[in-house]
Amino acid sequence: MQRRSIDERRQEDTSQQKPVSQQIQKNTQAAVEGAAQEVAAARVPWYRAVKRGQILLGVYALQLALFGLLAWWVHFHSVLSIDVTITREFQENQAPWLRYTMIAVSYIGSTPLLSTGLIILATIIFWVVRLRLEAVFIAGVSATSALLNALLKVIVGRPRPTTNLVEVLQAAGGQSFPSGHVMTYIAFWGLLFSLAIILFKGNRWWRIALVIVPALLVVSVGPSRVYLGDHWASDVLGAYLIGGVWLGLSLWLYLKLKAKGVLGIKKNVQGQPLENK
């Protein structure tokens, strides 16, 4: 009798747990559906998205020739007087708030675990809200940009700033040109900024955040690398140029694939996603 009562209690506990798990699953699905609908409502017409993307591509394409000239020049002139002057001007203000701000701006790029985690998180979020192609590009552009940066550092072979020329507040290893932080920020944060401009409309808080936060990080990371003495100004300029070019080429490919419906969500005649049926 005691054995039977124990089995009965276990069955009751199991039967009580099932509705709870089902309710959690329903709530999670409802939250995902709500987020997907919110994103879908903010989408701009595709012809307008293509036009916006083409404007961005035109800006990015102009940067390639300038980068080539700069890379060639610093390869043969590893220390430029203008770089030393700019760094010393940046470092004249040693206020604690400014130093901590510069360190904070560079912190994400200086912490591989954090930067990788943010890329993975953004990829998952875009995938969940049915922006599958965008999710793939978030991961792909960041990975290929890192490989490109490593290759360019080896080719150019420029040493980093030294303590006999400027103050090195945060020492880093490896070659100097182009800045890895800047290219990383452009590949990830710059892509988020571009997708927010291309895909979405309106004044929704998350769209505003997708525009303002990435823009601030991309703009401020360059000065932070010079201020901390990790890079010369020309390293930062080169990274902005080639990072913008790489982002532009990635956006061009993205627009081509998007127009063909690659990784798009198929819908039925009522406009509902087939995967939900």
Residue-wise DSSP of 205-249: HHHHHHHHHHHHHHHHHHHHHHHTTSS-HHHHHHHHHHHHHHHHH
**What's the pLDDT tens digit per position in 64-100?**
888 888 999 998 988 999 999 999 999 998 889 999 9
Decide if pLDDT at 9 tops 90: no
pTM: 0.76
Specify the CATH number for 46-260; select among 1.10.20, 3.40.50, 1.20.120, 1.20.144: 1.20.144
Q: pLDDT-derived band of residue 276, with 50, 70 and 90 as boundaries?
A: very low
Q: How confident is the prediction for the chain on average, in pLDDT?
A: 82
Q: d(Cα 183, Cα 115) in Å, to the nearest integer?
A: 13
Percentage of residues in the chain having pLDDT higher than 90: 45
Decide if pLDDT at 167 tops 70: yes
Q: d(Cα 174, Cα 151) in Å, to the nearest integer?
A: 12
